Amino acid sequence: MTIACELYPRVPASLLAGPEAGAGTGTGALLRSGVSALLLTGADQPGLALGLVHTFVTAAQGRDISVLVENDVQLAKVLNASGVHFSTPAEQTPQEVRALLGDDALVGASCGLSRHDAMTLCESGVDYVAFVEPSATDAGLSESFEDVAAMLQWWSELFETPSVAWGQDSHDEAVLQAFITAGADYLSLPAAYWLDENAAAKLSHLLSVCTARSIPA
């Protein structure tokens, strides 16, 4: 038995109008990388060129990459996205989201490090739950990546609904390996991990960490 994990990059929509959107680096490399899903963040920013965002969504889906939009169901519909991820408390149930976007729409949600919230989301019908380490700037919170790993392990042993480990800029590869070992089904990574002139190589390496070098269970 092996533990396999997939990469689930987070893509700021503002990048789609910048030089990073070119074919050679950045989002161009992301589309060719072999990831199966990505999360589009900040697509509801005022003044954002939605035509460019829609072009990116269409291009990604043309490569069999599911594109989820953060928090905005109506915008996901406008962009013909694959689904929505709620990083804040959702106003709609998964059933209501799918009624608007289609029966096959993906719905995921963050639950921090709350077992109760994770189980409640699972019962509501989400496609995955995301365990998120509180920001170091959050007053009174001392959780670390070990707490995320512990949640991932607990979840993987008891539930079939996939889990997402929410990677942070501060996490190094050893932390990502810890998440894989703990049983994460997906690693959601910020653009800082892969968005530079070495984007293609970084994405290839990260995918190898997630899948080709699965860790014996």
- pLDDT at position 39 is 97
Three-class DSSP labels, 31-77: HCCCCCEEEEECCCCCCCCHHHHHHHHHHHHHCCCEEEEECCHHHHH
Neighbours of 117 (CB within 10 A): 15
- pLDDT at position 1 is 43
Report the alpha-carbon distance of residue 61 to residue 75 in Å, rounded. 16
Whether residue 22 is predicted with pLDDT greater than 70 in this model: the reply is no
The encoded tokens of residue 108 equal 């995921």
Name the residue type at position 194: W
Q: How confident is the model at residue 68 (pLDDT cuts 50, 70, 90)?
A: very high
Region 164-183 average pLDDT = 89
Q: How confident is the model at residue 162 (pLDDT cuts 50, 70, 90)?
A: very high
- pLDDT at position 133 is 86
Type and span of the H or E element at 6: strand 6-12
The encoded tokens of residue 146 equal 């070990």
Q: Residues 6 or more apart from 121 whose CB is under 8 A from it?
A: 109, 111, 129
pLDDT tens by residue, 87-127: 998 889 999 999 999 999 999 999 999 999 999 999 999 99
Which of 31-40, 145-154, 182-191, 200-209 is least confident?
Answer: 200-209
Q: Specify the pTM.
A: 0.89
